[in-house]
């Protein structure tokens, strides 16, 4: 009898121990393991700051609730199926979601086991136009996801970028077509390969001094590798376009390859090379641009050198910095063999016309939307012609006579000659004086009609700055 009682007590103790172990495993150990594994998986996907609750965890299922990846992405519930051994090893048999939202859009996702150490992923994001389909394979520590979608809302891409790159405070609208592959080789090494076609996508950066949207169109090839210590991303295109409403600028036919050495803050390697087929700034049009630049600290663009075709000649500049946080730019423009006929037709069509080639160097300060000239000089490269239409303005610019008949006659001959003039020398010195552009013009040549006498003239012109500002930026009206 005593032995039976002892056996019963031992059996009861064993049952109680098993029950206690089950309760501990059910309510303490399994939830802790599930939370640790879920946090590890989310961190490996780039969601280290994700928050969630464990509703329940058993030896075969776990329900994750109130999952929040970021402000725009999360899920009401995530149900995970596994075996006890697979849970300990970090693997699962299946994952199903409810109330899933990605980049603010409703979505569905499932993961099914297809091999002892591998899984198949299938996800669908229900965008307003067409769904974004995501498929993937996960095996061991490595995984690969491929995404495909046409006519997607660009806010989806912007939301994804904010998830992985929280420093990029941007919003976007418009349409994109996406084909991408994202893979993880190890816990510390990721790779992305993608083709993104942007169709008039409007982008606004919250930390850029640009109250208007920037519009981007083009096909971009993206390839990169990421680790906790560095990021290398290459973006290439051969026919993209860009427009900024704030800068009243449009660039077309952009081609080149840019290597980003940091994504937060955004930075590139030195001497990145871009070519631009055509550009418009205000009412000025440029062609066949060549740019070498470096981006640093996310907002500073160091332009090593740039050269453009303009007015049937070239203009170039080097060694200046564009700050996207500030509209002020200071640079020196080197002009080479510009067509005088085009220059006068653009800036002084109602006052003068002419032929010839001019070259020079002009310091410029751009405080958007104002352009101010520094002290510069332009000279003619060879002979040319000049026809002054506004004789009254020219008469006011010529030095006044001393009241003698001879002085008045010389002044009259100069005015008559400049109405149709052939020059052998032309030089113009530029300066700025409190809202006025000062132009000191030196001419040597002779008239082409009448007496055709040799005439040398020094003319001082004062042009109000507001007239230049109005011409340059009239293209921004209505934008």
Strand partners, 385: 355, 422
Q: What are phi and psi of 333, to 5 degrees?
A: -95, 125
**CA dist., res. 338 & res. 343, Å (int):** 8
* Secondary structure of 342-353 in HEC code, one letter for each residue: HHHHHHCCCCEE
Q: What pLDDT does 415 receive?
A: 79
**CA dist., res. 463 & res. 440, Å (int):** 11
Structure-token pair, residue 457: 């003239």
Could you tell me how far CA 457 lies from the centroid of its own chain? Answer: 50
Q: Which residue has the tokens 């995404």?
A: 147
Taking the whole predicted model, whether its pTM rises above 0.75 is answered as no
Closest residue by Cα to residue 282 from 339, 346, 329: 346
Per-residue pLDDT 10s for the chain (479 aa) are: 555 555 655 655 555 555 555 555 555 566 777 778 788 777 766 677 889 998 877 777 888 899 998 777 888 988 887 776 665 555 567 778 888 887 677 877 776 655 455 666 677 777 666 677 777 776 656 667 787 777 677 766 666 665 555 556 667 777 888 888 878 766 667 788 889 888 888 877 665 555 556 788 999 999 988 776 677 889 999 999 998 776 678 999 999 999 999 877 889 999 999 999 999 987 789 999 999 999 998 889 999 999 999 999 999 999 999 887 777 889 999 999 999 999 888 887 778 899 999 999 999 988 866 778 889 999 998 899 998 887 666 666 566 555 555 556 767 787 788 888 999 999 999 988 877 888 888 999 998 887 788 888 888 877 777 666 665 554 443 33
29-41 pLDDT per residue, tens? 667 777 787 887 7
**CA dist., res. 83 & res. 91, Å (int):** 9
Are 349 and 341 spatial neighbours (Cβ–Cβ below 8 Å)? Answer: no
91-147 pLDDT per residue, tens? 567 778 888 887 677 877 776 655 455 666 677 777 666 677 777 776 656 667 787
**CA dist., res. 223 & res. 234, Å (int):** 5
Structure-token pair, residue 390: 């506004």
> What b/e string do you get for 142-165 counting C-beta neighbours within 10 Å, with b at 16 or more?
ebbbbbebbebbbbbbbbbebbbe
Q: How far is CA 147 from CA 171, 177, 245, 335, in A?
A: 21, 10, 32, 48
269-297 pLDDT per residue, tens? 999 999 999 999 877 899 999 999 999 98
**CA dist., res. 479 & res. 16, Å (int):** 78
Q: What are phi and psi of 134, to 5 degrees?
A: -125, 130
Start-to-end C-alpha separation, the chain: 100
Q: Please tell me the number of Cα atoms within 13 Å of 73 on its side-chain side.
A: 22
Strand partners, 458: 442
């Amino acid at each position: 009898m005593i032995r039976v009682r002892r056996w019963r007590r031992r059996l009861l103790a064993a049952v109680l121990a098993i029950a206690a172990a089950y309760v501990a495993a059910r309510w303490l150990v399994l939830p802790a393991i599930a939370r640790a594994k879920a946090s590890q998986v989310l961190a490996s996907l780039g969601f280290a700051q994700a928050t969630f609750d464990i509703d329940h965890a058993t030896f075969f299922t776990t329900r994750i609730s109130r999952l929040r990846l970021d402000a725009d992405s999360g899920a009401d519930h995530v149900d995970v199926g596994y075996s006890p051994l697979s849970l300990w090893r970090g693997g699962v048999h299946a994952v199903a979601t409810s109330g899933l939202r990605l980049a603010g859009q409703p979505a569905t996702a499932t993961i099914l086991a297809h091999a002892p150490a591998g899984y198949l992923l299938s996800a669908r994001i229900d965008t307003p136009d067409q769904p974004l389909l995501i498929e993937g394979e996960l095996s061991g520590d490595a995984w690969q996801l491929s995404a495909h979608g046409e006519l997607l809302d660009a806010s989806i891409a912007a939301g994804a970028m904010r998830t992985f790159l929280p420093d990029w405070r941007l919003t976007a609208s418009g349409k994109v077509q996406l084909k991408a592959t994202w893979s993880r080789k190890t816990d510390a090494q990721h790779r992305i390969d993608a083709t993104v076609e942007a169709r008039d996508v409007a982008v606004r950066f919250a930390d850029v001094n640009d109250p208007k949207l920037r519009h981007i169109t083009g096909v971009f090839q993206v390839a990169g590798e990421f680790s906790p210590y560095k990021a290398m991303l290459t973006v290439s295109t051969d026919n993209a376009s860009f427009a900024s409403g704030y800068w009243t600028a449009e660039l077309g036919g952009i081609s080149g390859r840019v290597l980003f050495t940091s994504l937060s803050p955004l930075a590139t390697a030195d001497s990145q090379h871009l070519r631009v087929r055509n550009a418009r700034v205000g009412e000025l049009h440029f062609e066949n641009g060549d740019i070498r630049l470096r981006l640093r600290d996310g907002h500073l663009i160091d332009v090593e050198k740039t050269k453009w075709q303009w007015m049937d000649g070239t203009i170039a500049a080097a060694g200046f910095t564009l700050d996207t946080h500030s509209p002020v730019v200071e640079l020196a423009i080197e002009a080479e063999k510009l067509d005088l006929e085009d220059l006068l037709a653009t800036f002084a069509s109602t006052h003068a016309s002419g032929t010839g080639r001019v070259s020079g160097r002009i310091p410029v300060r751009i405080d958007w939307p104002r352009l101010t000239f520094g002290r510069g000089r332009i000279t003619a490269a060879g002979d040319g012609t000049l026809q002054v239409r506004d004789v009254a303005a020219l008469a006011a610019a010529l030095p006044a006579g001393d009241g003698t008949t001879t002085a008045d006659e010389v002044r009259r001959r100069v005015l008559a000659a400049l109405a149709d003039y052939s020059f052998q020398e032309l030089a113009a010195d530029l300066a700025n004086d409190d809202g006025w552009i000062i132009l000191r013009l030196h001419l040597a040549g002779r008239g082409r009609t009448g007496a055709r006498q040799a005439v040398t003239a020094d003319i001082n012109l004062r042009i109000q700055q507001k007239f230049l500002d109005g011409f340059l930026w009239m293209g921004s009206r209505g934008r």
